[in-house]
Amino acid sequence: MPGRVVDASVLGALIFGEPGAAEVVALLDEAEIYAPTLLPYELASIARKKISRYPEQIDALSQALALSSAMDIRLIEVNGLEVVHLALETGLTVYDASYLYVSRNLGMELITFDRRLREAASMGVL
């Protein structure tokens, strides 16, 4: 079973039924999913923004977030100093660099809808 590192933009699309969710299902079919330990916080942040924007959907959005915790995602600790250096080298935020760090350290493809992160992943900077 192939492993893939997935960021919050991709899982957010899947969990909250955003455009691109069908693409995510195809990309992750039978894959082991990995992410840095910050993923649950980023998904909670997405949920908060959506609930603020669509308060009438609080129950559905809350349920979607709760279901995300049942997903089989392997959360990986990162080395903060190495992530900072990677962020500086690539111009990414520390948060995005955390996904790139996990991807590179595990030697796995990074799946993201974020253009800058996708470009940095394809450059192979380390």
- The domains of the chain are located at 3-123
Backbone region of residue 87 per phi and psi (left: phi > 0; alpha: psi in -120 to 50; beta: other values): alpha
- Helix (H) or strand (E) segment spanning residue 32: strand 32-36
For 48-85, the pLDDT digits (tens) are 999 999 999 999 999 999 998 889 999 999 999 999 99
Indicate the pTM of the whole model.
0.90
Say what percent of the chain tops pLDDT 90: 79
- Superfamily of domain covering 3-123: 5'-nuclease (3.40.50.1010)
Cα distances (angstroms) measured from residue 16 to each of 21, 24, 39, 63, 94: 8, 12, 15, 10, 24
Residue 125 pLDDT > 60: no
Alpha helices in 69-113 (DSSP H): 80-90, 94-106
Residue 99 pLDDT > 50: yes
Tokens standing for residue 69 = 């915790």
